[in-house]
Structure 1
Amino acid sequence: MSSTSILEIKNVSKTFSGVKALSDISFDVRKGEILGLIGENGAGKSTLIKILAGAHQKDSGEILLNGEPFEVRHPIEAQNLGLSVIYQEFNLIPSLSVVENIYLGKLPLKNGLVNWKKLKEDAIQVLEQLNLDINVMEKVSNLSVAKQQMVEISKALATKANVLIMDEPTATLTGEETEILLRQVRELKAKGITIIFVSHRLEELFSVCDRIAVLRDGTYVGTKDTCDLTKDSLIEMMVGRPLDQTFPEKEVKEFKEEVLAVKGLCRGKYVKNVSFTLHKGEILGVAGLVGAGRTELARLIFGADRPDAGEIFLRSKAVTFKSPHQAIKNGIGLVPEDRKNQGLVIELSVRENAMMANLGNAIVNGLVHPKKEIEITEKYIQELQIKTSNVNQIVKRLSGGNQQKVVLGKWMNADTDVLIFDEPTRGIDVGAKAEIYKLIISMAGQGKSIILISSELSEIIGLSDNVLVMYEGEITGTLSKHEVTQERIMYHATGGR
């Protein structure tokens, strides 16, 4: 390691439920530098950040801060040692003032009372470090998103942080706001603060970072000086691997029967003028990085959100879904990214979850027939090889892969014509992934139309007939099965057209 290292990560590993999130990670962060940290979704960045923050504990390895062992079991401990994290999702209380948010949990007291005079003076001093002109008594809810981001940075500076980790800090900012933030990042560096800057936006990394470290599939690829990198070489570091999954053979065919058409769909800054068609039996991949608008697009099609503009056609007929219930009635289903909170009711049984989207299958003479429910559920347990003690097993006690299979069983029972898969294999083991791949291809072979959203490029390439690539709410590329490569996807996913 360099003698100028402020933070050293040595052979750090972390496993969740048998899934290796980090494997023997080693790299250093130099004092006073801005180190970019990049990798595809699922590369291990978030896990590493949470370990450094004290939110997760490593399984093995060693971390040194200023040459001393860094063992923390709570974010407060990390902050007390000079390391703070600014997460993508703000951790602010909108109803409180700027000064209260900055010093939340550490208000200075005088004779048992809050010393408001000192509080304001300290807050103004912190804001001056960022050259910010913000009224410290202003409610946070009245501030722009960019200024709220600055308040988050101010909170970190108030802890006397000398290592600052910024996780996708520009994800919710406009172009102009992003430039302001990047300028502040450079000024923080000039004041001697070390920054780990996590972003999917390559132009930002090239703009502010001294070096860039790359993670891939939970492993460390390498760190290079930014001046020695090009956009293409960085993309190659991110995705430069052979397809490491075995995908079932899939017949290449010409699709003729249009099932779903989306025309000019818009919602705020998340989905901008999106148009595409989906055919019977087609698997349409949707690729993109964090914040690209993929999940927001899925929610619009499924009726979970309402579009600002645009139309959806189902078998050439214009449809408007005011709720997911209406979409389901019209044959559209969604396997959501967040299976525990949106795909399942984890306190209920396998049977109750499997029947949730189509209880009508179990109605006999106007009443729900328990024997019929059990019969249907056992059919999907067998077909999907769900490892459960019985149909009444509580879902939260199943593994992640088996929970995902219960979600799939629910939609198989609903017998939808269009099924949207949003990150269908996130957080599950390789064996379960292979089974889900076979199921997706089997469903398409039976005439179902599939929209596949995935951050794993190997899945997109291995399963899709055609691929849409999104960047900041727009479709920046449309690739056929014969055209698609990891490099082409990443080119469009980072703004190339």
Structure 2
Amino acid sequence: MAIQQLEKHEHASRRTAPDITVSGIGKRYGATQVLKDVTLSVTPGEIHGIMGENGAGKSTLLKILGGAITADSGTMELDGHPVRIATPRDAISHGISLISQELALIPNLSVLENVFLGRWSNRGSLLSPNRDCDHFARLLEETGFELDPRATVGTLPIGQQQQVEILKALARGAKVLCMDEPTAVLNEAEKEKLLQVVKRLAGTGTTVLIVSHYLEEVLGLVDRVTILRDGQHIVTEDAGGHTPESLVRLMVGREVDFLIPDVPQVPSEAGTVIRVAGLTSAKVKDISLEVRRGEILGIAGLVGSGRSETLLAVFGADRTTGGHVEINGRRIRPCSIRDAIKAGIALIPESRKEQGLVMSRPVGENIALSTLPARSWAGFVRAHREWTEVKDVSKAVDLRGARPGQPIANLSGGNQQKALFAKWLLNPPAVLLVDEPTRGVDIAAKARIHGIIVELAAMGTAVIVVSSELEEVLGLSHRIHVMRHGRIVAEFDRSATRDEVMTSAFLK
């Protein structure tokens, strides 16, 4: 961007948030044009939603504003003055802070150390910790957060870690917060608290740009929405004139069915595929469950209730101290991922980047990795067969705009999630364990992923789904187990209400 840098403002928190104008912003990764001539204006103290399908360029635009990446073309102005933001330091100097989905905290340091990292107060050559403690107290009062400054960040739940990230931004003088999927990993109580803080900050003059796939949440929060589609600006309008349906039509350019597809009944003669008896690990106690051929079992509960740990124990990824798992009547070796995969168990993990994908490798390799032995002979891979099968399964999951040789790190979150499903569809599993199947994906990708789960069940796969979205569990499942403190505390059929399930999660 051909623009000059403004004078840095050390005390940006004491001034009004700037008018922001970006014009003609473009960004390309190889042959993929991520942003094309995007123009956007944001007014001081506004809560501005940036909406679009996965791959529309939302996160890329936020990263450009926050200095995490640089645009290939276009200009940026703050209060009518041209600026150049090429690094996060540049952004911070202008009062702009990016809060990404992956939090940038040091887990073994305290809350106070993280908040003031690199910006300790001093008098002469001596540190002045009392001034920082006073500043920390003022930040808590401003946000309403309740955090112990001495607590080690790595021991905090994710919701409080995100609060630390916000305090860190405010301590650096941020008057513009760029928040990318801030509620994706939060429970309902944490979400509500965060949204109230965002409103409070906007009321004091802070500008907030927010990317989120939770449409109702966005409409209840933002003043205006900007829609991106295929990297292009479609429209910027007042949020009050929109519904979730109208936003989706703008985002995808067509009508999208919001409903989870019809879930077929389990045949009465369907046999049990997976039986778990008394499974116990450090995080779960005496887990027993059965899932029949073509059945979808949902697991609900609060964050920390043991839902994810149950799937990891069944898959052999967490060490167990008791109990066993049977697939089609055959007991498999505990704590062995290799045996679980051989028996036909597949896992879509909670974190695609940390547990599910090799981010440094191409799309095709990631999809083919789990079934590599089926296409190799004497140590050699049948490359043509692999290439053909990868392309076929990519089409089946609607993996848009992705080439097998393209780095998977360059795909949007929704396409990465589809690639995870494609990885196991090359050889459909007997049992599919799915943890947070649609976290951080747009409404169209969510509809396709729901379709894949139902299609696999219709083919006879036994499916276990964990989700923090209770509507997703209720809509997809034939039966629902509710977990609390590492144990299954209740079971419901698909006629269960939200209130019944939540009451069991909290009180039973």
TM above 0.5: yes
Deviation at 1:188, TM superposition (A): 0.6
CA distance 1:331–1:25, shift in 2 (3 Å) = same
- Equivalent positions of 1:332-347 (< 5 A) are 332=345, 343=357
Q: 1:384-408 CA distances to partner (integer Å, 9 max, x unpaired)?
A: 2699xxxxxxxxxxx9723789xxx
Q: Which moved more, 1:123-132 or 1:190-199?
A: 123-132
Q: Which residue of 2 aligns with 1:401?
A: 404
Deviation at 1:80, TM superposition (A): 0.6
Q: Distance in 1 between matches of 2:216 and 2:138?
A: 32
- AA in 1 matched with 2:455: D
Q: Which residue of 1 aligns with 2:455?
A: 465
CA distance 1:324–1:43, shift in 2 (3 Å) = farther
CA contact 1:22–1:218 (8 Å) conserved in 2: yes
Residue 490 (structure 2) pairs with residue 477 (structure 1): no
Q: Could you tell me which runs of 5 or more consecutive residues in structure 1 were left unpaired when the two chains were aligned.
A: 244-253, 363-370, 388-398, 406-420, 427-435, 480-494
- AA in 1 matched with 2:37: D
Q: Which residue of 2 aligns with 1:154?
A: 167
Deviation at 1:124, TM superposition (A): 2.3
Q: Which moved more, 1:464-473 or 1:107-116?
A: 464-473
Deviation at 1:153, TM superposition (A): 1.4
2:71 counterpart SS class: coil
- Equivalent positions of 1:76-475 (< 5 A) are 76-141=89-154, 143-241=156-254, 302-304=315-317, 314-315=327-328, 322-332=335-345, 343=357, 372-374=378-380, 377=381, 379-381=382-384, 383-384=386-387, 401-402=404-405, 423-425=417-419, 455=441, 456=445, 460=449, 465=455, 472=468, 474=470, 475=473
Residue 60 (structure 2) pairs with residue 64 (structure 1): no
CA distance 1:235–1:343, shift in 2 (3 Å) = closer
CA contact 2:27–2:71 (8 Å) conserved in 1: yes
Q: Which moved more, 1:132-141 or 1:13-22?
A: 132-141
Q: Distance in 1 between matches of 2:92 and 2:288?
A: 43
Q: Distance in 2 between matches of 1:110 and 1:346?
A: 45
CA distance 1:386–1:111, shift in 2 (3 Å) = farther
CA contact 2:273–2:430 (8 Å) conserved in 1: no
2:108 counterpart SS class: coil
Q: Distance in 1 between matches of 2:327 and 2:89?
A: 52
Q: Distance in 2 between matches of 1:106 and 1:188?
A: 22
1:477 counterpart SS class: helix
CA distance 1:361–1:74, shift in 2 (3 Å) = closer
CA contact 2:249–2:255 (8 Å) conserved in 1: no
Q: Distance in 2 between matches of 1:83 and 1:345?
A: 28
CA contact 2:345–2:432 (8 Å) conserved in 1: no
CA contact 2:45–2:206 (8 Å) conserved in 1: yes
CA contact 1:340–1:346 (8 Å) conserved in 2: no
CA contact 1:335–1:424 (8 Å) conserved in 2: no
CA distance 1:471–1:361, shift in 2 (3 Å) = closer
**How many aligned residue pairs are there?**
409
Q: Distance in 2 between matches of 1:228 and 1:122?
A: 40
Q: 1:280-325 CA distances to partner (integer Å, 9 max, x unpaired)?
A: xx9x9x9xxxx9x999998676443579999976346575752321
CA contact 2:224–2:239 (8 Å) conserved in 1: yes
Residue 47 (structure 2) pairs with residue 34 (structure 1): yes
1:101 counterpart SS class: helix
Deviation at 1:191, TM superposition (A): 0.7
CA distance 1:12–1:341, shift in 2 (3 Å) = farther
Deviation at 1:79, TM superposition (A): 0.6
Q: Which moved more, 1:190-199 or 1:204-213?
A: 204-213
CA distance 1:100–1:260, shift in 2 (3 Å) = same
- AA in 2 matched with 1:32: G
Q: Distance in 1 between matches of 2:48 and 2:189?
A: 23
CA distance 1:128–1:470, shift in 2 (3 Å) = same
Q: Distance in 2 between matches of 1:89 and 1:380?
A: 35
CA distance 1:355–1:56, shift in 2 (3 Å) = closer
CA distance 1:226–1:173, shift in 2 (3 Å) = same
Q: Could you tell me which runs of 5 or more consecutive residues in structure 2 were left unpaired when the two chains were aligned.
A: 1-16, 257-265, 391-401, 409-414, 458-462, 478-497, 502-508
CA contact 1:260–1:312 (8 Å) conserved in 2: no
CA contact 2:275–2:326 (8 Å) conserved in 1: yes
- AA in 2 matched with 1:7: I
- AA in 1 matched with 2:383: Y
- Taking only aligned residues, the RMSD between alpha carbons, in angstroms, comes to 5.2
- AA in 2 matched with 1:110: R
CA distance 1:112–1:57, shift in 2 (3 Å) = same
- AA in 2 matched with 1:225: D
Q: Distance in 2 between matches of 1:213 and 1:266?
A: 48
Q: Distance in 1 between matches of 2:280 and 2:230?
A: 33
CA distance 1:106–1:11, shift in 2 (3 Å) = same
CA contact 2:325–2:332 (8 Å) conserved in 1: yes
Deviation at 1:210, TM superposition (A): 1.1
- AA in 1 matched with 2:114: N
Q: Distance in 1 between matches of 2:233 and 2:342?
A: 47
Q: Distance in 2 between matches of 1:240 and 1:225?
A: 19
Q: 1:387-441 CA distances to partner (integer Å, 9 max, x unpaired)?
A: 9xxxxxxxxxxx9723789xxxxxxxxxxxxxxx973559xxxxxxxxx89x96x
Q: Which residue of 1 aligns with 2:8?
A: none
Q: Distance in 2 between matches of 1:230 and 1:309?
A: 50
CA contact 1:22–1:219 (8 Å) conserved in 2: yes
Q: Which moved more, 1:61-70 or 1:255-264?
A: 255-264
Deviation at 1:233, TM superposition (A): 2.0
Q: Distance in 2 between matches of 1:110 and 1:305?
A: 50
Q: Distance in 1 between matches of 2:379 and 2:242?
A: 58
2:19 counterpart SS class: strand
Deviation at 1:101, TM superposition (A): 1.4
